Amino acid sequence: MTESAIRLGLVLPDILGTYSDGGNAEVLRLRARWRGIAATITEIGYHEPVPSSLDLYLLGGGEDEAQALAAAQLRAHPGIQRAAARGAVVFGVCAGLQLLGADFTTSDGVRHRGLGLLDAVTSPGRQRAVGEVVVEVGAELGAEPLTGFENHLGRTRVGPGARPLGRVRAGTGNGDGTEGAVTGRVLATYLHGPVLARNPALADLLLGWVLGAPPAALPLPEVGRLREERLQAARRGARR
Ligand SMILES: NC(=O)CC[C@H](N)C(=O)O
């Protein structure tokens, strides 16, 4: 990062905005600000140019049709792909995860090309995955279990060019016991919440990638207590 402020890009919030995933940008901005680091959010609307100059791009969830529109738009205006090639961070949620992959097939059976930033392919499952999710993640991603909720039909196969974020302990995730995908600085998950509000360690991991070093600790005991409650509730639900 060369500038003093972190430049966050909220990609197509007008069509990729289900379940308040846009809140992830706000969480990053606040967690930077609480440490005295300025951050700006650029909303990149449909039909607007997609800048390649930002530090971190966020893509949220969306219905099949919105997702197909978004993929076509972002392939035609490859600002994110150019930014990723020079090391910018890209973070996707649900439809965002699916369209960062090589391709995805929507529920009508139509296959769409993705942005090709993740070695992942998505096809429709037999039924929608809806509910709370708990994911165990490894030390390289902070080792804190992830919590969130999911609502998607697609099932995602992560290829050898990427790796899943972790193993599902409750819920469906990718559909094969794994959840999400990561390669280099491109990271994506099925979890809504907004997921970065529920999982501050994941928010700080992304900020650390932008800053070049992990940000200073930010103790917020209330957030920790809420997390513990949600994790316990989801685990209890999974045993039922
Ligand atoms: N919540 C979402 O983003 C849904 C993604 C995709 N349309 C699916 O159903 O699989």
Q: Which atom of ligand 1 is nearest to the CA of 67?
A: 7
- Annotation says 112 is catalytic: no
Per DSSP, 202 falls in state H
Q: Residues 58-101: pLDDT tens digits?
A: 999 999 999 999 999 999 999 999 999 999 999 999 999 999 99
Query: Whole-angstrom Cα distance, residue 69 to residue 62?
Result: 10
Query: Whole-angstrom Cα distance, residue 86 to residue 223?
Result: 34
Token pair belonging to 62: 């969306």
- Tell whether residue 128 is among the known ligand binding residues: yes
| Count of residues in the chain | 240
ipTM: 0.94
In sequence order, the 6+-apart residues with CB closer than 8 A to the CB of 69 are 15, 46
Q: Residues 34-49: pLDDT tens digits?
A: 999 999 999 999 999 9
Distance 184 CA to ligand 1 centre (A): 24
Catalytic residue among 47, 77, 94, 152: 94
The whole-angstrom distance between residue 74's C-alpha and the CA centroid of its chain comes to 16
* φ, ψ (nearest 5 deg) of residue 114: -95, -165
Domain ranges of the chain: 6-239
Distance 113 CA to ligand 1 centre (A): 15
- How much of the chain exceeds pLDDT 90, in percent? 85
Q: Report the CATH architecture of 6-239.
A: 3-Layer(aba) Sandwich (3.40)
Nearest CA to ligand 1 atom 8: 152
Asked if residues 146 and 123 have their Cβ atoms less than 8 Å apart, the reply is no
